[in-house]
Amino acid sequence: MPEAHYEIRPVDRITVGAVGKPGKRVFYLQAAGTGTQLTLGLEKEQVQMLALSVEQFLNDLQQRFPNLAEPDDRYEESEMQLEPPLEPEFQIGTMGLGYDDREDRLLLVLREAVEESEPKENAAEVSLWCTRDQLQRLSKWGVELARRGRPICGNCGRPIDPEGHFCPRKNGHKT
């Protein structure tokens, strides 16, 4: 049994956000509902992976359940902003998605990152019951948020800092 298990059913609000300048940003996922707000830490790559996974999961659902209405992906940026406090309960390690067709709700399960020496069953866990619209908006916003980071070098695929970077494909010359 996980050390701590949180469940928000139903989720009223879910978002991802970042604090800081590109290259030094700290990313958070926030969910609120039933009088509870949770803030969790995650990495930029996890935001991107979550956005892609949600998009693929929703496409798969549409194939399995063709009568489902297309999820609404329209959002206002102001609606997607993080709300204080920004003190994460834990850092996200793994994520999973599920679907309850009776309630037409997606389940997003987030599990705490634990050290290799710690038992995985001691990881805290969060279960978030979201609408398809909520996760479609989260996916679209997550892509936009990640895009606002540092530009990517066309030669080596690594981020370029404001001061430039030493590209290994340009034999260490600064770009």
pLDDT digits 0-9 by tens, 88-121 = 999 999 999 999 999 999 999 999 999 887 877 8
pLDDT confidence of 19, banded at 50, 70, 90?
very high
% of the chain with per-residue pLDDT over 70: 96
- pLDDT tens across 116-135, in order? 878 778 899 999 999 999 99
Question: Does 105 fall in a domain?
Answer: no
**Tokens encoding 68:** 């489902």
pLDDT confidence of 162, banded at 50, 70, 90?
confident
Whether the per-residue pLDDT at 83 is higher than 90: the answer is: yes
Question: Does 109 fall in a domain?
Answer: no
Dihedral angle over CA of 58, 73, 129, 80, nearest 10: 140
Q: Give the Å distances, CA to CA, from 80 to 28, 34, 41, 54, 171.
A: 12, 19, 16, 17, 41
pLDDT at 1: 47
Separation between Cα atoms, residue 43 and residue 113, nearest integer Å: 11
Length of the chain: 175
Q: What are the φ/ψ torsions at residue 10 (nearest 5 degrees)? A: -95, 160
Question: Does 44 fall in a domain?
Answer: yes
Question: Does 113 fall in a domain?
Answer: no
Whether the per-residue pLDDT at 172 is higher than 90: the answer is: no
Question: Does 122 fall in a domain?
Answer: no
pLDDT confidence of 77, banded at 50, 70, 90?
very high
Question: Does 106 fall in a domain?
Answer: no
Range(s) of the domain holding residue 27: 7-92+132-170
Question: Does 56 fall in a domain?
Answer: yes
User: How many separate domains does the chain show?
Assistant: 1
Query: Which one-letter amino acid corresponds to residue 69?
Result: A
